[in-house]
Amino acid sequence: MTDKMRSFGRRRLLGAGALGAAGWVAGGGGWMLAPKGAFAAEPIRMGIATDITGAIAPSGNANWQVAQFAVEQINKAGGVVGRPIELFLEDTASDPKIAVGNVRKLIQERKVNVVLGGITSAMRQAIKDPIVNRGRTLYIYPQLYEGQECTKSLYCTGPTPAQQCDKLIPYLIKTAGKKRFALPSANYVWPQLLNKYARKVIEANGAEVVFEEYYPLDQAEYSATIGKIRDGKVDCVFNTVIPPGLQPFVKQLYESGFQKNGGVLSCVYYDENLLNYHPAQEMEGLYSCLDYFQSVDDPFSKQLQADYAKKFPDTKYLFTAGSAATGMYRGIKFYEAAVKATNGDLSRDAVSAAMDKAKIENGPGGGAEMVPGKMHCKMNMYIAQCKVDAGKTRYEVIASDKMVDPKEC
Amino acid sequence: MGIEIKLAFDLLAFISVMVLIVLGLGIIASMMGIFNFAHGEFVLLGAYTVYLFESSGLPGWAGILAAPLVLALIGVVLERLVIRRFYAAPIIAMLGTYAVGLVIREIVRGLLGGHYKSISEPLPGAFTLFGVDFSIWRTVIVLVTACIIALTWAFLARTSLGLQIRGSLENPNLARACGISTSRLYAMTFAFGAALAGLAGALIVPLYQLSADIGTRFLVQAFLSVMLGGVGTFEGPVLGAAVVGGMAAGLPWVVIPVLADPLVFIIALIIVKFRPQGFITQGRL
């Protein structure tokens, strides 16, 4: 190779690398949304740390849009005790290592009063220390998760295993008449702890767990699992496999005739967004249990969806429960309620004390209230089943429970 | 009885997927000495072509037919612009192709908005034979893979163009002295490998979901297949892919699934220890 060629090759290589890097930088520079209108008082500084880029960017972007939407509503109504909310965004990039540095920026440079965000459990674990311990700042985590997070000044506004299982599993056993469960799962913390709880509820209700098995997150071939489901005469698959491993699993399960022969698939993180990841026929009959579905018949929720659609017309990022967007809305409203209760005092201890007893009248799927001393909230839970009309999927709410206890801490 | 047939079919279907993906990689590695780290992204682009066709209302079949052509074109352009500068330095070529792959992958991720997209099979459903259900699309993949292997082998081993390609691999200087334009042949070979990757992506995407990482998940196992089968032959990588695919699908029956992946590598490494040149060392095409 000549010298000229070599230098050309290297330059090309560097150029390609820089282009790749630019993709990351573009989304990660930090972002600020100042309130519109004139306010006399100093604004409340609210930090959003969520996954704008990377593998779970669709959920992160939905969170960010919902945060903008909720804050705009609050500011339009005159702010919190006369103070507007100013939003600061940092990208956690679906990568805990990048996230820690960016979250520190929120705390140290932006000096925010509260941080909301994080979607995966790995992300929460990574950013809670810089926020709560070293940062001495209030943290609100919005996603449904495996439970057991009992850190002081960390409030969880998504459903816990108890909220997702206590109603759904007895329903599957008693009403749908399923007796033999399989728990195929992705190999990480959420499925492991959720399964532990689910197994207890399954056995307490007189059904049986045929097998509980963990797979690498991107496993592409599931014939062994399908074989075990068939051999074990499983009639209910309680699934916690996640994308990208999920789609081949669901397809192979469907092709094996599991549903045709009376089997039932249940997946407790599945919302309206995720149905689109599969062909409609594979989703028909799926049971999910979440704090909100778009078909929930509640005037406030319907108005919320209409307003969200007006602010973000034709958006790809839906206001749904599985992506933590409902938890984000709830978290912002809880914070608003707490600051109202302290009459504008933003010190962490004062707001924490008020958060502990905070209550919101309305929200997606209904109101919610913190369980004092437990850092988790009671909320309405809905069981829904996927129906298919002319190739289009939708959820039909078939049962609901008011103010379900999170049973945490 | 039914269960054994179904198991054998599932194994065969997954082996076909593996072989489809490895074919293009193996041909570029064997015929040109380039380990193409952008191969996973070529598979992704094939899948993406089908998605583009589907989302603009054209039939999925057309997308599957177009994917290899689109990828052949991209292959030629890339070979002219980038790859040909690396023939003398295979290690740099790995880094260069990795960079190309990264750029492609992140661009597609941006275009998809990070979402997963479901692509439906052109032939959905199942047919019943001896009381066992067989997925139609998996059957199509098995048959197409068999045809592609046969055609590719015939092309390389039985046509005069194939002979020229093999000749250029053995001794480029002599080939040039005989009046063969090796640079044109290399461009063609690379385009051919890319086209096979595109076809693989287009065929397998209905089984999985379209996401920017669809290719990377298979890439490491594909390289393992080439290593196991032996570089420099056509049959080697195909055989290697069959073994790796068979192990990846079969091992979860006997060990817990999280152990199956590492076990594939351990077994492969043990085989390589005893056959460092791969399964097939003799009788290059």
B25-38 pLDDT, tens digit per residue, is 999 988 888 899 99
CA distance B118 to chain A (A): 5
Phi, psi of B210 (to 5 degrees): -75, 120
In this structure, the number of other CB atoms found within 10 A of the CB of residue B284 comes to 15
| Contact residues on chain A for B107, CB-CB shorter than 8 A | 23
Is the sign of the CA dihedral A165, A171, A174, A177 positive or negative? negative
Q: Give the CA-trace dihedral at A111, A117, A121, A126, to 10 degrees.
A: -20
**Is B10's CB within 8 Å of A221's CB?**
yes
**Is A214's CB within 8 Å of B258's CB?**
yes
Average pLDDT of chain A, as a whole number? 88
What's residue A1's pLDDT?
38
pLDDT at A8 over 80: no
Phi-psi region of B68 (alpha: psi -120 to 50; beta: other; left: phi over 0): alpha
**Residues near A341 by Cβ (< 8 Å), separated by ≥ 6?**
A354, A357, A358
In this structure, the number of other CB atoms found within 10 A of the CB of residue A206 comes to 10
Both tokens of B156, joined, read: 């390389």
pLDDT at A40 over 90: no
- The string of pLDDT tens digits covering residues B199-236 is 999 999 998 888 888 888 889 889 999 989 888 788 88
Please state at what angle helix B257-274 crosses helix B235-250, rounded to 10 degrees. 150
Confidence grade of residue A21 (pLDDT, cut at 50, 70, 90):
very low
Say if CB A90 and CB A123 are below 8 A apart: no
From B209, which residue of chain A is nearest by alpha-carbon distance? A247
**Residues near A249 by Cβ (< 8 Å), separated by ≥ 6?**
A184, A219, A222, A225, A239, A241
The domain locations on chain B are 2-213
Is omega for the bond preceding A244 within 30 degrees of 0, making it cis?
yes
Task: Please name which of B182, B227, B279 lies closest in space to residue B30, comparing C-alpha atoms.
Answer: B227
Nearest to B133 among A225, A251, A257 (CB): A257
**Residues near B229 by Cβ (< 8 Å), separated by ≥ 6?**
B26, B235, B236, B237, B238, B239, B240, B241, B243, B278, B279, B280
Domains of chain A, earliest start first: 27-159+298-375 (3.40.50.2300), 162-290+382-404 (3.40.50.2300)
What's residue B282's pLDDT?
54
What mean pLDDT is predicted for residues B154-158? 90
- Cα angle A297, A303, A308; round to 5: 120
| Contact residues on chain A for B117, CB-CB shorter than 8 A | 277
Which residue is listed with tokens 């399954």? A202
**Is B257's CB within 8 Å of A216's CB?**
yes
Chain mean position to CA A149: 15
CA distance A211 to chain B (A): 11
Dist CA A216 CA A244 (whole Å): 10
From B253, which residue of chain A is nearest by alpha-carbon distance? A224
Q: Give the CA-trace dihedral at A297, A303, A304, A310, to 10 degrees.
A: 130
| Contact residues on chain B for A219, CB-CB shorter than 8 A | 257, 261
**Is B96's CB within 8 Å of A9's CB?**
yes
- The string of pLDDT tens digits covering residues B109-150 is 888 877 788 888 888 878 888 777 788 999 999 999 999 999
Task: Please name which of B75, B41, B47 lies closest in space to residue B63, comparing C-alpha atoms.
Answer: B47
**Residues near A208 by Cβ (< 8 Å), separated by ≥ 6?**
A179, A180, A181, A202
Dist CA B50 CA B199 (whole Å): 10
How far lies B144's CA from each of A250, A329, B17, B136, in Å?
A: 24, 50, 10, 12
**Is A221's CB within 8 Å of B249's CB?**
yes
CA distance B102 to chain A (A): 7
